[in-house]
Copies of this chain bind each other. A is one copy, B any other.
Amino acid sequence: MTGQVRTVDGRVAGRRGQATRQKLLDCLSEMLSSSPYRDVKVIDVARKAGTSPATFYQYFPDVEGAVLEIAEQMAAEGAALTELLEGRSWAGKAGWQTAQELVDGFLEFWRKNDAILRVVDLGAAEGDKRFYKLRMKILNSVNNSLADAVAELQAKGRVDKDVNPAAVAGSLVAMLAAVASHQKGFSSWGVKQAELKPNLALLVHLGVTGRKPTK
């Protein structure tokens, strides 16, 4: 499926080459966490990895290309987010727990990968299809599950007919993502992490079921 890892000029990368390549990706990842995206330079990444810019360009067309690679790896891990919703109930107390665990897992994932996700978000917002598709890929698991949950409740008549499940799910996911990437903003605005989560869960529960949770 993944084919072989190749250099920019078409050679297949061997063991050593793949190690170098991965080291470059790791260093880039670190740099993205510590300095603004706009200021991340190839030469810095290469230096940090103990190699030269020329080597970098053997494996990646540019910084953006390398970021896409990292994001791709992260997207694969992000598939695990589906588990947060797989086979969960939205009724009664179980529903409240589902909402809480979703919020928890989502914020955790976002916090762990915030540097890359920032860049993916930016790229997507700028209209770059590659980043945009990647963002979809990451969010789709949660998004689809949520939309299904809404649609199901709708079929049972417990949610209004004129609700669009995809729109609601997408909005809720966007909310989670946005709050996650501005967590610091909240905290210094007088809202603490611990307070934030239950309120987010409340909003999610309200959005999905249309009702307040029974705790």
Contacts and interface: CB of A to CB of B under 8 A. Distances in A.
B203 A191 contact: no
A125 to B, nearest CB: 5
A182 interface: yes
Given A164-B191, A167-B199, A178-B178, A128 B185 contact: no
A203 to B, nearest CB: 5
A65 B168 CA distance: 37
Contacts of A71: none
A171 to B, nearest CB: 5
Given A182-B125, A212-B160, A170 B195 contact: no
Contact of A206 (B37, B166, B174, B210): B210
A135 B177 CA distance: 17
Assembly of this chain: how many copies?
2
A182 B189 contact: no
Contacts of A174: 175, 178-179, 182
Given A36-B126, A38-B64, A122-B122, A189 B166 contact: yes
Interface string A156-175: 00001011101110111011
B171 A203 contact: yes
Given A164-B199, A166-B189, A177-B178, 4 more contacts: A118-B125, A171-B175, A206-B206, A210-B212
A104 interface: no
30 contacts: A37-B37, A38-B38, A121-B121, A121-B125, A122-B122, A124-B182, A132-B184, A135-B182, A136-B189, A162-B198, A163-B202, A164-B191, A164-B195, A164-B196, A164-B199, A166-B191, A167-B191, A167-B200, A168-B199, A168-B203, A170-B179, A170-B189, A171-B175, A171-B199, A174-B178, A174-B182, A175-B178, A178-B178, A203-B206, A210-B212
